[in-house]
Amino acid sequence: MKLLEKFQALGQARDQLKNLGVDPFNVVVEKILSPTEAIVNGHRVILAGTNNYLGLTFHPECIAAAEKALREEGCGTTGSRMANGNYADHLALEREFAEFYRKPYSVVFSTGYLANLALLSTLPGADDVILLDADCHASIYDGCKMSPAEVIRFRHNDVDDLAKRLRRLKDRAQRTLVVVEGLYSMLGDTAPLKAIAEIKDEYGACLMVDEAHSLGVLGESGRGLAEAEGVEALVDFTVGTFSKSLGAIGGYCVSPHRELDILRYTARPYIFTASSSPAQIASTRVALRLLRDGGELRRRLWSNAERFHQGLSSLGCQLGPQMSPVIPILLSESREDSLLVWHELLQNGVYVNLVMPPATPDHRCLLRCSMSAAHTPEQIDQLLETCAKVFAAHGLVSH
């Protein structure tokens, strides 16, 4: 096979989508009107798939901080922190994350993806083991590929399977990093974290929790599932992102272990990546404060999620296993049928994410919806009205 021949099948699949006149992978967002509205592919739509959980992307304090940093420090850093030095705001944000999580050590990365690559490629060595939930994010899998450690999957949210695999590792269990997520991004379900933390502690393993979708969403202070489950003291490494509840771009890790600070000198995704722009860091510092004090935002987010979830349930839609701000609508295995449903929703003013295998946990396509604290009750009712009309035309609702 020649070098480029392996892309022929992918090219043919893309051409088939074009022939249908539908391309969910080339959506053009022409204008953002607010945290919940935009002009997309020529249609004014309600955004119901953005991960903007707290609706902070247009918060005036975040924008003012970003504008000030842009004027005073420029557009970018033009290099890595190792080579070009640490901007004072990067260090300040690390201190603020450490204080927020009540942990002594914190590192900020350029993206959440890079945070996972850095941790997983560096912490476990050649004689160690990574034991990860099968439904973990692509960034976690990619970090595992970069690691010299042995990689073992356990069945999604299956505590007994995790315990069995730790038991089989015997003494190597103490050289194992267990990796799970707080809130899983496709089906919107949470990890049984209390049981997982207790099991890892029993066997002497370490635990890494990716709270990307649970930061700002779960826990009294918004610290995520570990806070909500009361097991923060049993989590060794907490990873997250700025690109969901914080409304920016970047990533972080906090830990009680000094080794996280030493990781700065060994993790290639940290050493060789340009650091985040001053504007991103400045807006994130404000957003983190708003998140910390955002009890009302979290209440509104969950109220909106419950309203939308109940509405879809009353339509007879097949939904995910738990109610959360991530609400998947399960469709069929037919890509063509699912594409048409997604396209008709977009044409009728609803933007959600179309997810197809292999990105889905099974062989079915799904529409991934995510609620925001910024959605109004009227917008949610409009979303439901449009979904009812489109789904009925495709036989996807029971009545």
pLDDT of residue 398: 63
Q: How confident is the model at residue 372 (pLDDT cuts 50, 70, 90)?
A: very high
- For residues 202 and 349, state if they share a domain: no
pLDDT of 89 higher than 80: yes
The CATH number of residue 195's host domain is 3.40.640.10
Range of the domain at 84: 60-292
- Among 292, 317, 346, the domain boundary falls at 292
List Cβ neighbours of 246 (8 Å cut-off, separation of 6 or more).
56, 215, 216, 284, 287, 288, 291
Convert the pLDDT of each residue in 16-35 to its tens digit. Answer: 777 777 777 789 999 999 99
244 a catalytic residue: yes
Q: Are residues 142 and 168 in the same domain?
A: yes
Q: Are residues 374 and 236 in the same domain?
A: no
Whether 399 has a pLDDT exceeding 80, the answer reads no
- Pair (39, 67) in one structural domain: no
Q: Both 34 and 85 in a single domain?
A: no
Using the 3D structure, point to which of 262, 292, 322 is the last residue of a domain.
292
Catalytic residue among 103, 213, 309, 375: 213
pLDDT value of position 13: 79
Same domain, 338 and 311: yes
pLDDT of 374 reads: 98
Q: Are residues 319 and 259 in the same domain?
A: no
**Please, what's the b/e burial string for 179-201 (b: 16 or more CB within 10 A of its CB; e: otherwise)?**
bbbbbbbbbbbbbbbbbbbebbe
Which is higher by pLDDT, 106 or 18?
A: 106
Q: Both 280 and 345 in a single domain? A: no
Tokens of 11: 């090219």
Residues 165 and 196 in one domain: yes
**pLDDT confidence band for 114 (50 / 70 / 90):** very high
Catalytic residue among 121, 147, 185, 283: 185
Give residue-wise pLDDT tens across range 311-348: 999 999 999 999 999 999 999 888 889 999 999 999 99
Active site residue 243: no
Catalytic member of 59, 103, 200, 244: 244
Q: Residue 108: inside a domain, yes or no? A: yes
Boundary-marking domain end, from 261, 292, 323: 292
Tell me: do 192 and 312 sit in the same domain: no
Q: How far apart are CA 295 and CA 217, in angstroms?
A: 10
